[in-house]
Amino acid sequence: MSPKIIRGFEHFLALEDENVSKNITLLENHYALILDLDNIYCSCVTITLPDDESLMIPAFLYLISHQEFYYGIASFLRLHKTQCFRSLRVALDSAFTAYYLLKNPDEIGLYLNMNTNSQWENVFRNIKVTIRNNYKRFPSAAGLLHVHDLCSKFAHADPAGILHKYFMDRERKILHVNYFDYENSRDDYKKWFAFFLFYFFRVFLIYWNEMLTKNAGGVKKEITYLIKDYKIKIRDLRSTYPLK
């Protein structure tokens, strides 16, 4: 798809709204998978956790991951795939940090005092590396570290994350920037849609397996069913639109 000339901020906003409308239509019934995953996230907000200070930060990080799910998927509908990668990275960082703290509750104080303890740098500055170096203790993170690496390319000025946005009109000698991340085909868009939903779901599963399921009480059966059903739906979507 050819890039459009942006005539100002309000025009940019109008194009975003247009993109959202077009992509909801493009996704057809698959759009409901966004709402299904949001329902799973929101259902867990009602879970009453024990009065335990060691759970406060992981619970807060859960809300951050949910927030980034909103930011990321909303951005993807607006054709900002790069921003969706960035949101997924934040969600992963939050989940990795929560995972580490749930395994090491005695280090909550260290996490909260980043400016007064040099050990903070070794553990939390790059939480992905901490998880990778202790991967046997964090089985729920399996398969997520390489996704974090991919997201990082879009979180910084990495050529893979920015050069696709630029093109040169060599006849007129004008450099253009594309404000939206257009895909080559409808199927390509759906492939990335399946990718992002799957990994935001994987983020959720870290919190569910390590913190929420043991405290779910009367809603555990219902949420377990929702998770099982979603696994089937997202697996089917990914098999229909595989990202190679």
* 62 and 207 Cβ atoms separated by less than 8 Å: yes
Which pLDDT value is given to residue 35?
98
Which pLDDT value is given to residue 90?
96
Which pLDDT value is given to residue 225?
98
Which pLDDT value is given to residue 126?
83
* Residues 6 or more apart whose Cβ sits within 8 Å of residue 208: 44, 223, 227
* Residues 6 or more apart whose Cβ sits within 8 Å of residue 214: none
Distance (Å, rounded) from C-alpha 102 to C-alpha 221? 23
Question: Which amino acid is residue 1, in one-letter code?
Answer: M
Which pLDDT value is given to residue 80?
94
Which pLDDT value is given to residue 109?
85
Please list the alpha-helical segments (H only) found in 104-144: 108-112, 119-124, 127-133
* Residues 6 or more apart whose Cβ sits within 8 Å of residue 72: 83, 84, 85, 86, 87, 88, 91, 196, 200
Distance (Å, rounded) from C-alpha 99 to C-alpha 203? 10
Closest by CA position to 223, among listed 34, 51, 45:
45
Where exactly are the structural domains of the chain? Answer: 9-240
- In the chain, DSSP finds a helix count (H) and a strand count (E) of 11, 2
Distance (Å, rounded) from C-alpha 108 to C-alpha 24? 41
pLDDT digits (tens, 9 = 90+) for 167-212: 666 676 666 677 888 898 999 999 999 999 999 999 999 999 999 9
* Residue numbers in the chain where pLDDT is lower than 70: 1-4, 114-117, 155-170, 172-176
Distance (Å, rounded) from C-alpha 180 to C-alpha 76? 10
* 238 and 51 Cβ atoms separated by less than 8 Å: no
Closest by CA position to 203, among listed 77, 82, 98, 55:
98
pTM for the complete prediction?
Answer: 0.91
* Residues 6 or more apart whose Cβ sits within 8 Å of residue 29: none
Which pLDDT value is given to residue 230?
98
Distance (Å, rounded) from C-alpha 97 to C-alpha 57? 9
**65 burial type by CB count under 10 A (0-12 exposed, 13-18 middle, 19+ buried):** buried
* Residues 6 or more apart whose Cβ sits within 8 Å of residue 110: 117, 119, 120, 123, 124
